[in-house]
Amino acid sequence: MTTGTGLDSQVGIAAETTVGTAVTVTRFLEYTKESMKYSPGFLEPSTLAAGTKYKRVSRVTKSRVTAGGDLELPIATRGMGLLYKHMIGSTATATQIGSTTAYRQVHTPVGKLGLGFTMQVGRPEPSTGTVRPFTYRGCKVTEWEFSLSDNDVATLKLSIDAMDEATATALATASYTSAHQFGFHQAALKLGGTVATASGVTSVTGGTAVATVINSISIKGSTPLATERYGLGSGGIKREPLENDIPTITGSLKAEFSQAELYDVFKAGDALALQLDLTGAPIGASGEEDTLSFICPAIILKEAPPVVDGPGIVMMDVAFEAYSDGTNPVLQLLSISADTTL
């Protein structure tokens, strides 16, 4: 029985072979909110005509279209690989670990040229209970943010640019992979150490587990894209957006004041490695566990002011940025799960 509310909504995605050519969505995501919308542009009249003060409707023309918005979801232990690939711009595949049921994905930034996906949102209509499909083609992730707060699950927010929206495409039948969610209690943060990359996998040795109480952490990626590549002959539909400025990876920590562990590092201005690991349940009898790991080989703390805001614990809002060290990838997102494919 349908409810006619958001309880019946769905979001599905699938990688496109050709960016902008829609495909049937096959991967369905459990999510919390979305804001995808269709945004047409209009050519408006600015002419003067005696006896007419207002714009003539006959002179208004829809000229070009775009679409996009945000998607927010908890990070599951399975079914996330396709999002990781498109948000980071990786060429990762799922590689079996030995002969076990565990598979590793190693996502590092390569580029977003040729990467696009179709996204379909099913939105329930209250008056009829019908779930109406809204299908977006040529989707690219322009920004993403991983967030983790005390006593909460890990979340991901994606900002998405799309070429167009269609409402005639049939609603795909949703199916979901059984999975868990990563939570704050499964996280461990290390700073410093020696970074090395071997066989395409980056690791850190000698990192120090942070002793300071960390209440929250976020890691954010931004990839500037030329999103207005319309041109003659495009029929008002943009061509594939291309990277047109320097991408950035930034982050923040909400922490209790620590002179030696954070503030002195900020004052020194030296680069150090950051490793954040989330470790979940065992994957069958593989000897592996559900894992999500971020490694930034070279971050610099940009802000770290300790602030007295009353009689309570003195806190610090620490901001950092990741840089290329010239040897290792600026960011590695490593996922270990039972997913045999992205």
DSSP letter at 237? B
Residue 214 pLDDT greater than 90, yes or no: yes
Residue range 231-264, pLDDT digits in tens: 999 999 999 999 999 999 999 999 999 999 999 9
How far are the Cα atoms of 99, 175, 197, 198, 274 from residue 290, in angstroms, in the given order?
A: 17, 21, 22, 22, 20
Percentage of residues in the chain with pLDDT exceeding 70?
100
Residue range 120-159, pLDDT digits in tens: 999 999 999 999 999 999 999 999 999 999 999 999 999 9
Q: Which residue has the tokens 């711009």?
A: 89
Question: Which residues, in sequence order, are CB contacts of 213 under 8 Å at separation 6+?
Answer: 255, 256
State residue 327's pLDDT score: 98
pLDDT band at 292 (very low <50, low <70, confident <90, very high): very high
Q: What is the pTM of this model?
A: 0.96
Q: Which residue has the tokens 């994606």?
A: 158
Question: Which residues, in sequence order, are CB contacts of 104 under 8 Å at separation 6+?
Answer: 94, 95, 97, 201, 334, 335, 336
Neighbours of 312 (CB within 10 A): 7
Closest-CA residue to 215 (of 315, 144, 291, 296): 315
State residue 1's pLDDT score: 76
pLDDT band at 330 (very low <50, low <70, confident <90, very high): very high
CA distance 34 to 167: 17
| Domain-wise residue ranges, the chain | 9-38+67-337
Residue 274 pLDDT greater than 80, yes or no: yes
Residue range 172-213, pLDDT digits in tens: 999 999 999 999 999 999 999 999 999 999 999 999 999 999
Q: In 151-247, where do the E strands start and end?
A: 155-162, 164-166, 187-191, 194-198, 201-205, 208-209, 214-222, 225-226, 242-243
Residue range 63-114, pLDDT digits in tens: 999 999 999 999 999 999 999 999 999 999 999 999 999 999 999 999 999 9
State residue 338's pLDDT score: 98
